[in-house]
Structure 1
Amino acid sequence: MKDGVLQQPSSGTEAGRAGWPGLPCRADHPDPFQVSFHLVDGFSMMALSAAIEPLRAANRLLGRTGYAWTLAAERAGAAMASNGLEIKAGPGAGDGRDADLTVVVASLFPGDLDCPGLFARLRRLRSRGRAIGAISNGTMLLARAGVLRDSRVTIHWEMARQLQEAYPDLTVSDDLYCQDSGVLTAAGGTAAMDMMLSLIAQIDGGDLALDVARQFLHGPIRPASDTQMEDLRWRFRITDRRLLNAVELMRRNLSSPARIGWIAEQAGVSERQLERLFLAELASLPSDFYMALRLRAAREMLLASSDPLELIAEQCGFSSAGHFSRSYKIQFGEPPSLTRRQRIRPDGGIMQADGGKP
C-alpha cells in the first residue's frame, strides 16, 4: 500500500493479501465473497463485463464458488446499458444488504440524476462498515450520496474535472483504480478488470489473479497507480521523455494555456530544442500541437457533456466563443454546434438538436 493505492501484486500464494485493509483474505473468509453491482441506466457494458468476468473465471479455476454476484437497480426490472442492450436486475433496496462489496456501475447519465433508493442504500452500507465502490462515473453518484467525505478516488477522465469542482474536499486522482477507507473506485473500461484482479489477489493470492488474467489474454496486472493518460506515449508514438513531459504539461494546462517557453524550461530543454523535438517526432510546431490538443479536448466535451459552448471554450483556454468556433471549424471542418448535435444519448444512439433520436 502506498499513498492509499494498491500496488502491483507479485506472483506467489501470499501476494496481494495485505493490499486492501478492510477486505478479507480467504483464510478469514471461507464463504463466497459477495459482490452486488448496482446498475444505473446508461452504464457501460464493457465496464460491467470487465468487473464480473474475472470473478467467473476465478470460480472456474478454483473449482468452486469463491465469488458470487448479483445485479441490482433503482427499480427491479431491466437496466439499459449505454449500447442499448438491457440486463435483468433486481431491486437495489432489497438486494445485496449483506454483500461484502457493493459497486455502483454508471457511465452516461443525466447531470441532475437523482437515485434516492441507491443513495439511502449506500449510506446504510457505510454506516454498517461495508465496503462500497464505483466503476467509471459511478464515483460521482457516491459523492452525491455523501459517502466519500475526503476520500481519494478516481473516475473516468471525462468527469474528473466536474467531480473535483463539485466536491473540492475529495482527492480526485487520474489513477486507473484506487482504494481509500473502504471505498474502491475504478476509472471504467478495462481498469475495472485490473481492479477486480487485484481484489482476487487480495483474497486468494497473486497466483490465482495472474491465472485469471491469462484467461483473458490480459498480460501483467496493471498497478493502481498507472494513470489513465498513459496512452500519451503510444497514442502519439513519443519516444523522447522530454517531449512526453512537454505534452503532459500541455494536457494539464488546457484552460489556462502555458507559454511554450515555460513548457520548454519545465521539460529541461530550450525553446528551440523543444521545437526540434516536436518537428522530429510529431511533425508539428509546439504551438500548433497545443492548439490541436485543446480543440480535441473541446470536441470530447461537446460529445460527452451538456455544458454550454461558452463554458467549453473557457475550459479549453479560449477567451471568446467566437475565437473558439473559428478555430474549431478550421480543425474539424464543422462548427461546434454541429458536433453538439451528435452528442451520444445515455441509452445509445445519437442525440439530435431537438433531443430526439434519428
Structure 2
Amino acid sequence: MATERTPLDGQDPSLGRGLVDRLDRASVKRDGNPSRSGAELNIGFLMWPTFPLLSLAGFCDALRHAADLGDQSRPLRCTWTLLGMADETVEASCGVAVPVHAVHGSPRQFDYLVVIGGLLPKLDQVDRRYWDYLREADAEGVPLIGMCTGSFVLAKAGLMQDRVACVHAFHFEDYKTMFPGLRVIANSDYLIDGNRITCAGGVSVLELATRLISLHCGPDRASKVIHQMTVSRLGGTSFVERRKALGYLAVGDLLVRHAIVLMEENLEAPLNVTVIAKMTGTSVRQLERNFLTETGMSPKEFYRAMRLRYARWLLLNTTKRITVIAYECGFADSAHFIRGFKEVYGVTPGKLRTSLEERLS
C-alpha cells in the first residue's frame, strides 16, 4: 500500500505559500474517466430565485483553488457552469444578480448537478424547463446535489423517494410538513444517499466540496482548499487534523477512493461494509475485490487499520483520555480498543503515551 505524506499544518502562518507549493508539487493528475471538459470534476449549478450566495460562492471557490496551481484560478482540473435560460440572471437572497449560461447539451456532461434552493415561498417561481432539466439529469443517471433548500426542490420534483434528505435545523419541520412521507435528518453537514447528496448549506458546503474534490482529484487538492480557505471546525477534530493523522493514500481505483472517503467521514460510528457497498453503487464482493487489489486488505481490515492509525495520532498529539479516543475511533469500549491497538502496534495505548511523555520530560 503506497502512501505519500505531506505537511498539512495550515495553522502556522510561516508555511504560507510554501505549503501550497508543496501540495501542488505533490499533486498527481488522476487517471480515470474525465468529463467531456477534460477536467476531473465538472459541476453544473442550477440556482433557484433568492438562493443563498454563500452556497454558490463557497463551492465555486473551493473548485477554483483545487483546479489549478498556486492562485492562478484557471479551470483546469475542475470546471463549473452556472446554468439557466439564455440572457437570464438569477437574484440571490442578498440582492446580488448572478448571470447564467443557457443550457446546452445533455446533463451527462456533468459529474454532478447542484441545485441551490431559495426561499421556500419562491420554489415554484422558475421556468418549467428547470424542472425538466432536473428530471432529465436523473433519467440519465447524473448524481444530484440539493444544496440548502435544494433538497426541497428535489423532493418537489419527485426525486427524493426512498432517499433521506439532510436539511438545516431551521427547515427541519418545514420539510416534514411539506413532505410527510419522506425521511429527513438535521444533525449533519451533508448526507450521501446513493446518487443523491443533500447539504444543509452555509459553511457545510465547504465540507462537501472538499470531499468531492478529494474523491475526484485527490486528497492533495482537498488539503490545498482547506489551507487556502482556512476551513476549520469548532469542537471535534478538523478535516485538516484527520488528513494529517491518516496521511495521503495513493489510490487509483475510483470505487475504492469513494469508499475510503466514506470511511474517513464515519470513524466514530463505523459503517457496515454492506452499507458502504450500497452507497458506492456496487456489491460487497466487488468492493472486496477492488480493495484487495488496491490495498492488499479487505474493506473491513482497511477500515479497522484506519481507525487505529487515527487513534494512535490522537494519543500522540492530544491530551484526550483513552476512553474518549476509543469512542471517537469507533470502538464499543476501552478494552476492545486496547486489545486491538496492542495487536497492531505491540504496545498498549497507555504505554505509548507514557513513553512519549518520558521522552519529552
Listed as ranges, the gaps of 5+ residues in structure 1 are 1-9, 14-24, 227-358
Q: 1:73 to 1:195 in 2, by over 3 A?
A: same
In the other structure, the counterpart of 1:28 is 32
Shift of 1:157: 2.1
Deviation at 1:101, TM superposition (A): 0.7
Question: Unpaired runs of 5+ in structure 2?
Answer: 7-28, 233-237, 241-263, 268-361
Per the alignment, residue 87 of structure 1 pairs with 98
Partner of 1:278: none
User: By how many angstroms is 1:206 displaced?
Assistant: 1.9
Q: Deviations over 1:207-243 (max 9, x none)?
A: 32112110011133398679xxxxxxxxxxxxxxxxx
Q: 1:196 to 1:185 in 2, by over 3 A?
A: same
Residue 92 of structure 1: how far off its partner (Å): 4.6
Equivalent residue for 1:122? 134
**Are 2:206 and 2:231, in contact at CA under 8 Å, matched by a contact in 1?**
no
Q: 1:51 aligns with which of 27, 38, 59?
A: 59
Per-residue deviation, 1:127 = 1.1
Whole-Å separation in 2 of the counterparts to 1:45 and 1:11: 36
Tell me what 2:231 maps to.
218
Q: Distance in 2 between matches of 1:35 and 1:203?
A: 12
Asked if 1 retains the 8 angstrom alpha-carbon contact of 2:48 and 2:123, the reply is no
Q: In the aligned structure 1, how far is the partner of 2:5 from the partner of 2:196?
A: 26
> How large is the RMSD of aligned CA atoms in angstroms?
2.9
Whether the 8 Å CA contact 2:44–2:113 is kept in 1: the answer is yes
**Aligned match of 1:136:** 148
Matched residue count: 206
> What is the CA-CA distance between 1:38 and the residue it aligns to?
0.4
Q: Contact 2:189–2:199 at 8 Å: present in 1 too?
A: yes
Residues 40 and 73, structure 1, Cα contact 8 Å, conserved in 2: no
Determine if contact 2:123/2:153 at 8 Å carries over to the other structure: no
**SS at 2:69 equivalent:** helix
Question: Counterpart of 1:152?
Answer: 164
Greater relative contact order (Cα < 8 A, sep 6+): 1
Residue 64 of structure 1, CA deviation = 6.8
- CA offsets 1:315-335 (integer angstroms, 9 cap, x no match): xxxxxxxxxxxxxxxxxxxxx
Where has structure 1 moved over 4 Å in runs of 4 or more? Answer: 10-13, 92-97, 222-226
Percent sequence identity is 24
- Asked whether the 8 Å contact 1:47–1:189 carries over to 2, the reply is yes
Distance 1:11 1:107 in 2: 42
Q: Give the letter for the 2:30 counterpart.
A: R
Alignment partner, residue 286 of structure 2: none
Indicate the SS of the match to 2:68: helix
Alignment CA distance shift 1:27-1:12 (3 Å): farther
**Other-structure match for 1:39:** 47
Deviation at 1:98, TM superposition (A): 2.0
> For 1:168, which of 167, 180, 193 is the aligned residue?
180
Bigger helix fraction:
2
- Give the match for residue 216 of structure 2: 203
Q: Shift of residue 94 of structure 1? A: 5.8
Distance 1:161 1:109, change over 3 A: closer
Shift of residue 90, structure 1, vs aligned partner? 2.0
Structure 1 residues 173 and 225, CA, compared in 2 at 3 Å: closer, same or farther? farther
Corresponding residue number in structure 2 for 1:70: 81
1:164-209 deviations in Å (ceiling 9; x for gaps): 2332343211111111121111111110111010001111222321
1:185 match: 198
2:117·2:123 contact (CA, 8 Å) conserved in 1?
A: no
Distance 1:225 1:114 in 2: 38
